[in-house]
Structure 1
Amino acid sequence: MIDLESGKQGSSILHTLNLAFKSIGIIYGDVGTSPLIVFTAIFSDPPTDSRDVFGVLSLIVWSLTIVVLIKYVFIVLRADDNGEGGTFALYSLLSRHSDLSVRGNEDDLAVTKHEKIPTNDSKKGPNFIKRSIVVQNILLGVVLFGSSLVMGDGLLTPPISVISAVEGMAVPAPSLTPAIVPISCVILILLFLSQQFGTGKVGSLFSPIISLWFIAITSIGIWNISKYPEIFKAYNPYYAFDYFARRKDAGFTDLGGIFLAVTGVEALFADLGHFSRASIQISFPFFVYIPLVLVYTGQAARLVLDPTLVTNTFWLTTPSVPGIYWVVFILAVLATIISSQAMISATFSLIYQSMQLDCFPRVKIIHTSNKVEGQIYIPEVNYTLMVLVVIVCIIFQHSKNLVIAYGVAVAFVMTITTLLLTIVIFVVWNLPVIVSIIFFCIYFTVDAAFLGATLRKVASGGWFTLCLGILLTIMMSIWRWGTVRMIRHERSRTPDLNKIFKEKKIISDDNNNMENTAHEIILENDNDIILENYNLNVSIDNEIHLTRSPGIGLFYSDIGDKIPLSFTQFIKHFPIMPQNVIFINIQTITDPKVGDIDRLEVKKVNNCEGCYQVTVRYGYSEQISQGKEFLLQLMESIRKIDPINKSLTQDFNFDNGCVTYVVGQQSLCSKPDSPWWVNILVSIYMFIYLNTRKFYSNWGLPVESTVVVGVNIPI
């Protein structure tokens, strides 16, 4: 007898181990190649006191342990939002658990994706986030700034990694120096072109290379440690405190170099959606943390014996046997190129999350895996990022010009993550407030020290990252501002589907004075549309007559269980009401695919003839399609629940123009008395809106049968 449950568990374990292996090639390239530069970046001159080497090694080891291993791998990763990580995930968690809308409307807390996630217990009353609009705005602003900095980091990491690797060829052959930037640009272009194959396939290609890299640095570390085993004493945190006590301000400045050992952790959390919490918690402690500790320990051991090796610590502590040296060199070049992948994947994840929260214009999302929802590819972002990265390479030319701008963004993001997680511990995890205070005191102290040290780089080039982050924050804030107002306007102007149609009795003034049944549509302007007969004219109390024409009218709603403004605007401007009115709401769920049985949920709107509410569900890896095949399935579902409707027969003619697709397009406009700053915000928002992808762009709607109904929203 086959144990199906054991088979599923075994398959799950194998899948997790497979993801753990693939994660090595995606999210650890940055932190894994830091040993190439850390000691050289810390010591500008050879250390004259061996205690300095002990102190620096102690700081590196404990930074990796406290910040990366404990904080991120075992604490921060637990604050995922339905498998997604990053600052937006933390914001979404806090919003829902505070009973706040995350998309600017009141009904989005029960989205299919999150319907099983509990929100704040109303019996306890609103928490401090719910009670204060100021706190909510500050929270959103901090999240937008942190996410923008990570995206800005995604623009800097690829050129730094690739240029620093390619520069190595100029050491034995100085004549190749002019070719460094062109070769770097070619490599980067090929890297971005490979993104279309998906994170999983790219990870399968990169993981063996990075794994060999970690094996190589582990071997080098052990070989160096064997020459001075006493270096293990540096694991005692006493040497870290002693380092600061002796060097004072200089020791604080050196934190900027020590911080390079932990850069890349922001990608570890942001890339969570591409893998899983379990896979990362397996891969980092066993395959990344130990090799890093050993290679840094080995470098420190050699520096104690020969401080002059600080000029190029990694390569001068690598065995000089030609066969070994050049193999390590090739692996190093490949590893530094691959390290760019972590930030590219993180940028995709953050943009996808920001779109879900209406903080980023719509772009095309391609899901590249049927097993992991978070593995995505965004063509527009990929090619835009590729062009910008190439421009950065051409402008900065040398890696040393980029390094001075690097680290500021990471330090800011780490500090923001600590602030948000402190609130999550209390609001979401419902732990005692003392736990939040202890976490904050420990990690904010560490993060603030790193941030203070890296802020000294601002004048030397860190301004580039900050300016980029501020520009992205402004853009996302304006998009959120405009989109929220559109959503609120549409929701405030349209009643629920179950309330718009009401059956009532009217007295017909015919010869027989018979009492007839009719149906009433209550509109926002208090006009009543009386459906006197299924096939006859429809009158309105302001003397406008609407005719029910043959065919189907599909009205698409982007606001859930509400009548879209496109419907009310349509019947105001066209004296026609289709014989079959269908309100469609499309949802994307967390399963990769949806079966035909679960695809459609069709409801008749009260007793109104020929009027239906339809929810259409698609899996995250499916392409939304509203073509003829969908219409056939829709008509079959309607016939099952409403056999009285004889107009939707199996031989319905789709080619005679009787099917009309109606979508709404809202536009913000300034009131005559609006302040000047509102006029500017509206102009910027509309410029972005008119040049961005519409929500129905890839649905396969036939152009000749699609009607776009515009609505102006005064601000």
Structure 2
Amino acid sequence: MEGRWMAENTTAQRLGAEPSQAGVPADDSTEAHVKAPLPALVLGAIGVVYGDIGTSPLYALRESLSHASKAGELTQGAIIGATSLLIYALIFTVTAKYVLFLMRADNRGEGGILSLMALAQSALGRRAQIVFLLGVAGAALFSGDAIITPAISVLSAVEGLDLVTERFKDYVNVKEYVLPITIAILIALFWVQNHGTARVAAFFGPIMVIFFLVIGALGALHIPDAPQTLYAFNPLNGLRFLLTHGWLGFAVLGSVFLGVTGAEALYADMGHFGRLPIQAAWSFFVLPALLLNYLGQGALILSDPTTIDNPFFRLAPEWGLLPLALVILSTIATVIASQAVVTGAFSLVRQAIQLGLLPRLEITHTSAMQEGQIYIARVNRLLLVGVLILVVLFKSSSALASAYGIAVTGTMVTTTALAFVVVWKRWRWPLWAAVPFVSAFLVVDLAFLAANLMKVVDGGWVPLLLGACSMVVMWTWVRGTHLLAEKTHRDSIPICDLIAMLEKSKPTRVKGTAVFLTSDPNVAPAALMHNLKHNKVLHERVLVISVVTKDVPRVFKRFEIERLSDDFTRILLYYGFMESPRVPAALAQMRKAGLKYDIMTTSFFLGRRSIVESSGSEMPGWQDKLYIALTHQAANATDFFSIPSDRVVELGARVKI
């Protein structure tokens, strides 16, 4: 080994920064890459982060009280109790847990279940199996949420047309058009994904500001209808209803959870806007608007129990075009909420790919300015098909409400469990403080989960099935890739041994530089061995490059170069799990740092493996078939690593798993 050097940018020293010793995480990382003015970030957060939770009033209280209505117990105590449970779900779960607590557990400014998993593993200093499984389970359950949210949100908004057009029911049956209109909106939503959302996103904030102002004002206008709705601020009313109504109270609790779906978005979108803008938008604008609307719906039902069929839209006065305007505004808001979930699904899949949980899929960047603006065609098609199946299968938002909740509550439970590891190991709280603190949140999460499990037969099986399928896919990919890597390592020659052999055999040398990509930098790449075996030549300069994904969102040290001999150089390229690996761009950075090569005389040699079944496989037959099917879905390395196709030479081989 003749030489070694590292290249880092001016912020590279942060890689070695120690975690805070004061019991809370360092406070500067959250805003590290957020540069826009605070008002603009607050407006953006209102438009993107709060779409899902902001549209919950369309169905949350209605579904919560539907159980009491069917049981013939739609009393004042039931209405105030359900409203109280909704209010304190927002205050305790969203405000206390997510806004004030979890947003302190950031991974270099990023949030989300996989980001938290990586942070917990970093705190433990190893890849603990239980932490890994919790992260995978949370990510898998999110897939169910990503499919159900667009379906129930858009359906609930379009259903408002049925109320608006009651006066025309003798001429047209609007119910016949709810499903077609919903399907058309959803198809249009997914159709435009490949164009990116950067331009449209500029309108998200102002539209959602109008939406929250409207629903807050409508709620406030109806509070005088039954001022006793304000008793909902007394938490004892909610607890009394929950504890004295047996299974009915438990069923209501499961539907109350619909009011906090979307809370994960607060945490997952932290990297886009920063902690302070999200906290400010929630505390001073979104939360007051939601509280006013729920109180207004409660007062409306108290004064007129017949409005239980759709209290949200019945808040709008019947005169003029206000009800229709509310339907249109709500539909736009639900589309925005769906867009945020779809974008979040793309981001989560990219993180999973980078962390080795899924095969590499072709990722299209729809914005030259924003790294997070991405589009994954295969994921988009799967989401569209899943959403349309749910709409056709369930036909109404009330039916879909039974399927909603389990995925989100499951994700919340895994998030809380991972947060305990961070609080205990990274923030270094003593166990006597960490256990009761995190347990308070975990008890509430488990209560919500248990209440939602009651809805398994009525539709809750949908997110469980989707989550189980996602977990099987990720487990199969991780296991198959691990077994394949072990086999490849056993059958390969150490790179240093190959260099020594080549110095003795003296193969024919040709001009130029050859770049070989490999997943294991310590062994000779398969493409290099095939090139020597079949072409019997070696380039005068050889770069062996390995792409390494770190357990951080973004890295500050991009590459590490190691000179193995006069003509062999080993390079490690580092990327965070929220970054897309672009090998040519990294090579350009390295050339500025002193690495000598000419791109016009450089060829990229890539190995293309064709995986076939083996009777001696350590995986069962069905898993072998699934893994092979997944490899066929994987994008080729040329596209995934953004390598110019006219500079690539692919060498294939058949490999038994």
1:91 pairs with 2:117 = yes
Q: Is the 8 A contact 2:42 2:280 kept in 1?
A: yes
Specify the alignment match of 2:416 in structure 1: 418
Specify the alignment match of 1:237 in structure 2: 235
| Secondary structure of 2:517's aligned partner | strand
Inter-CA distance 77–702: structure 2 relative to 1 (3 Å threshold): closer
CA shift for structure 1 position 365? 2.9
Q: Is the 8 A contact 1:275 1:375 kept in 2?
A: no
Task: Give me the whole-angstrom Cα distance separating, in 2, the residues matched to 1:33 and 1:480.
Answer: 37
Give the letter for the 2:119 counterpart.
Answer: L
Specify the alignment match of 2:391 in structure 1: 393
Specify the alignment match of 2:516 in structure 1: 555
Specify the alignment match of 2:102 in structure 1: 76
Specify the alignment match of 2:582 in structure 1: 624
RMSD after superposition? 3.6
Give the letter for the 1:97 counterpart.
Answer: A
Q: Is the 8 A contact 2:218 2:296 kept in 1?
A: yes
Specify the alignment match of 1:30 in structure 2: 52
Q: 157, 160, 178: which one pairs with 1:165?
A: 157
Task: Give me the whole-angstrom Cα distance separating, in 1, the residues matched to 2:236 and 2:151.
Answer: 38
Output one character per residue of 1:532-552: Cα deviation in whole Å (capped at 9) or x when no partner: xxxxxx52xxxxx63233333
Task: Give me the whole-angstrom Cα distance separating, in 1, the residues matched to 2:200 and 2:317.
Answer: 31
Give the letter for the 1:687 counterpart.
Answer: A
Specify the alignment match of 1:506 in structure 2: none
Inter-CA distance 237–632: structure 2 relative to 1 (3 Å threshold): closer
Task: Give me the whole-angstrom Cα distance separating, in 1, the residues matched to 2:508 and 2:141.
Answer: 55
Query: Could you tell me the TM-score, scaled by structure 2's length?
Result: 0.83
Q: 622, 636, 646: which one pairs with 1:680?
A: 622
Task: Give me the whole-angstrom Cα distance separating, in 2, the residues matched to 1:458 and 1:280.
Answer: 33
CA shift for structure 1 position 484? 2.7
Inter-CA distance 702–214: structure 2 relative to 1 (3 Å threshold): closer
Q: 40, 46, 53: which one pairs with 1:18?
A: 40
Structure 2 residue runs of 5 or longer lacking an equivalent are: 1-30
Q: Is the 8 A contact 2:48 2:336 kept in 1?
A: yes
Output one character per residue of 1:336-370: Cα deviation in whole Å (capped at 9) or x when no partner: 23221232122112111111211112123344567
Output one character per residue of 1:145-168: Cα deviation in whole Å (capped at 9) or x when no partner: 221121121111112222222233
Give the letter for the 2:61 counterpart.
Answer: F
Q: Is the 8 A contact 2:160 2:313 kept in 1?
A: no
CA shift for structure 1 position 85? 2.4
Identify which range, 557-566 or 51-60, moves more after superposition. Answer: 557-566
Query: Could you tell me the TM-score, scaled by structure 1's length?
Result: 0.77
Give the letter for the 1:340 counterpart.
Answer: S
1:221 pairs with 2:219 = yes
Give the letter for the 1:416 counterpart.
Answer: T
Aligned pairs for 1:220-619 (under 5 A) are 220-368=218-366, 373-490=371-488, 500=496, 522-523=497-498, 528-529=500-501, 531=503, 538-539=504-505, 546-559=507-520, 563-585=524-546, 604-605=563-564, 608-614=565-571
Task: Give me the whole-angstrom Cα distance separating, in 1, the residues matched to 2:624 and 2:32.
Answer: 55
CA shift for structure 1 position 634? 4.9
CA shift for structure 1 position 710? 4.2
Q: Is the 8 A contact 1:602 1:637 kept in 2?
A: no
Output one character per residue of 1:571-590: Cα deviation in whole Å (capped at 9) or x when no partner: 34443222222223457899
| Secondary structure of 1:175's aligned partner | coil
CA shift for structure 1 position 67? 0.3
CA shift for structure 1 position 477? 0.9
Give the letter for the 1:554 counterpart.
Answer: V
Give the letter for the 1:22 counterpart.
Answer: G
Identify which range, 398-407 or 561-570, moves more after superposition. Answer: 561-570
Task: Give me the whole-angstrom Cα distance separating, in 1, the residues matched to 2:415 and 2:228.
Answer: 37
Inter-CA distance 412–322: structure 2 relative to 1 (3 Å threshold): same
Task: Give me the whole-angstrom Cα distance separating, in 2, the residues matched to 1:306 and 1:182.
Answer: 32
Structure 1 residue runs of 5 or longer lacking an equivalent are: 1-8, 102-128, 130-135, 501-521, 532-537, 540-544, 640-647
Task: Give me the whole-angstrom Cα distance separating, in 1, the residues matched to 2:346 and 2:180.
Answer: 26
Give the letter for the 2:50 counterpart.
Answer: Y
Q: Is the 8 A contact 1:360 1:476 kept in 2?
A: yes
Aligned pairs for 1:617-696 (under 5 A) are 624=582, 626=584, 634=591, 637-639=594-596, 654=600, 659-666=602-609, 668=611, 672-674=615-617, 677-696=619-638
Give the letter for the 1:345 counterpart.
Answer: T
CA shift for structure 1 position 701? 4.8
Task: Give me the whole-angstrom Cα distance separating, in 2, the residues matched to 1:638 and 1:13.
Answer: 33
CA shift for structure 1 position 417? 1.6
| Secondary structure of 1:322's aligned partner | coil
Specify the alignment match of 2:188 in structure 1: 190
Task: Give me the whole-angstrom Cα distance separating, in 2, the residues matched to 1:241 and 1:176.
Answer: 40
Output one character per residue of 1:428-478: Cα deviation in whole Å (capped at 9) or x when no partner: 222111233113431222112211111111111111221111111111111
CA shift for structure 1 position 233? 3.1
Give the letter for the 1:91 counterpart.
Answer: M
Specify the alignment match of 2:63 in structure 1: 41
Give the letter for the 1:31 counterpart.
Answer: I
Q: Is the 8 A contact 2:602 2:647 kept in 1?
A: yes
Q: Is the 8 A contact 1:555 1:582 kept in 2?
A: yes
Specify the alignment match of 1:121 in structure 2: none
Give the letter for the 1:382 counterpart.
Answer: N
Specify the alignment match of 1:107 in structure 2: none
| Secondary structure of 1:234's aligned partner | helix
Identify which range, 180-189 or 696-705, moves more after superposition. Answer: 696-705
Specify the alignment match of 2:132 in structure 1: 140
| Secondary structure of 1:690's aligned partner | helix
Output one character per residue of 1:207-259: Cα deviation in whole Å (capped at 9) or x when no partner: 22211111011111221223444433321222122212332222112112211
CA shift for structure 1 position 569? 4.5
Task: Give me the whole-angstrom Cα distance separating, in 2, the residues matched to 1:151 and 1:323.
Answer: 38
| Secondary structure of 2:110's aligned partner | coil
Output one character per residue of 1:80-102: Cα deviation in whole Å (capped at 9) or x when no partner: 3333322212221122222225x
Larger radius of gyration: 1
| Secondary structure of 1:529's aligned partner | helix
Task: Give me the whole-angstrom Cα distance separating, in 2, the residues matched to 1:354 and 1:633.
Answer: 27
Output one character per residue of 1:2-37: Cα deviation in whole Å (capped at 9) or x when no partner: xxxxxxx99967434323212222232222122222
Inter-CA distance 622–62: structure 2 relative to 1 (3 Å threshold): closer
Task: Give me the whole-angstrom Cα distance separating, in 2, the residues matched to 1:330 and 1:578.
Answer: 64
CA shift for structure 1 position 65? 0.4
Task: Give me the whole-angstrom Cα distance separating, in 1, the residues matched to 2:575 and 2:250.
Answer: 53
| Secondary structure of 2:37's aligned partner | helix
| Secondary structure of 2:650's aligned partner | strand
Inter-CA distance 354–591: structure 2 relative to 1 (3 Å threshold): closer
Task: Give me the whole-angstrom Cα distance separating, in 1, the residues matched to 2:109 and 2:92.
Answer: 23
| Secondary structure of 1:340's aligned partner | helix
Inter-CA distance 670–591: structure 2 relative to 1 (3 Å threshold): closer
Inter-CA distance 622–443: structure 2 relative to 1 (3 Å threshold): closer
CA shift for structure 1 position 199? 4.9
Q: Is the 8 A contact 2:403 2:462 kept in 1?
A: yes
Specify the alignment match of 1:513 in structure 2: none
Task: Give me the whole-angstrom Cα distance separating, in 1, the residues matched to 2:575 and 2:414.
Answer: 35
Aligned residues: 615
Q: 89, 112, 125: which one pairs with 1:63?
A: 89
CA shift for structure 1 position 68? 0.6
Task: Give me the whole-angstrom Cα distance separating, in 2, the residues matched to 1:701 and 1:295.
Answer: 53
